[in-house]
Amino acid sequence: MPLFNLANCLALALLLVLIGGFGVLRRRSLLLVLLSVEVMLNGVNIALIAFNYFRWGQSESGHYLYMLSIGVAAVEAAVGLSMVIVLFRNYRDITRERISMLGETRE
Partner 1 sequence: MPPQLIDILFALAAIGLLGLSAAVVLIRNPVRSTLLLILSFLPTALLYILMQAPFVGILQILVYGGAIMMLFTFVIMMINPAPKGGEIPGEDAKIRWKGLVSTLVLLAVAGIIVIPPVYHAAMALPPAAVGKPGFGGIASLAELIFRDPANNPLTVSFELISFLILVGIIAALNFSRRRRSDISGDA
List phi, psi (to 5°) of 105.
Answer: -120, 140
Of 1 and 101, CB closest to partner 1? 1
For the chain, the residue count is: 107
Check residue 55 for interaction with partner 1 (CB under 8 A): yes
Check residue 88 for interaction with partner 1 (CB under 8 A): yes
Number of H helices, E strands in the chain: 3, 0
Q: Least distance (Å) from partner 1 to the CB of residue 107?
A: 14
Among 44, 51, 99, 105, binds partner 1 (CB under 8 A): 51
